Amino acid sequence: MAMIIRSGSGRRGRRKPMADINVTPMVDVMLVLLVVFMITAPMLATGVAVNLPKTRAEQLPTEKERPLVVTVDKDGKAYVGMEDKPVELAALAEMLKAIANNKMDKRVYIRGDDIVAYGKVVQVLTLLQAAGFTNVGLVVDSKKAAALMESLKDSTPDGARDATKEGGAKP
């Protein structure tokens, strides 16, 4: 960026305003903001860590309206959405009704840790059904399920595998 400065008096000695915009500081600020958002974005999307059970079921298609999510961790505590504080089971149904604006056909997913007692997940499911929610589903990890099914297939005795190929009894 060059600028001509003339010495002298009168009109010829005055400097003209510079019409160039220096974009370097703006680029620096934008890069800093990019780095800050890249670091903080994954922290905002975390929830309660659970190990999901394995299954071969396909993932449900996403819709415009986000479903309600109830998470049951390995200790049997229930969480709603991305909250970090557990919810008492007695207050769970009323809390979900308030969030759903009493739309009982709103989709509700239950995420249960794979080592939590089966009864805890069923208890949450029963509470939701008793509260009137009609569209309740269980969330599973399909990637882990595929690996589990492959390992089970490999561990099947040869005789049992031959019987299933010939139309015999399944193992």
Q: Tell whether pTM > 0.75.
A: no
What value does the mean pLDDT take over residues 144-148?
A: 71
Bridge-based pairing state of the strands 78-80 and 136-139 = unpaired
Contact criterion met (CB below 8 Å) for 68 and 78: no
SS3 17: coil
Predicted local confidence at residue 61, as pLDDT: 58
Predicted local confidence at residue 29, as pLDDT: 95
How many contiguous H segments (helices) and E segments (strands) does the chain have? 5, 4
Q: Which residue has the higher pLDDT, 55 or 70?
A: 70
38, pLDDT greater than 60: yes
How many Cα atoms occupy the beta-carbon half-sphere of 22 within 13 Å?
A: 7
Predicted local confidence at residue 106, as pLDDT: 78
The residues pairing with 80 across neighbouring beta strands, listed in sequence order, are 70
Predicted local confidence at residue 163, as pLDDT: 43
Nearest to 59 by CA among 138, 147, 152: 138
Q: What is the distance between the alpha carbons of residues 95 and 88, in angstroms, rounded to a whole number? A: 10
For the chain, the structural domain boundaries read 17-44
Chain-centre distance of CA 5, in angstroms? Answer: 60
Predicted local confidence at residue 63, as pLDDT: 54
DSSP 27-64: HHHHHHHHHHHHHHHHHHT------PPB--PPPPPP-S
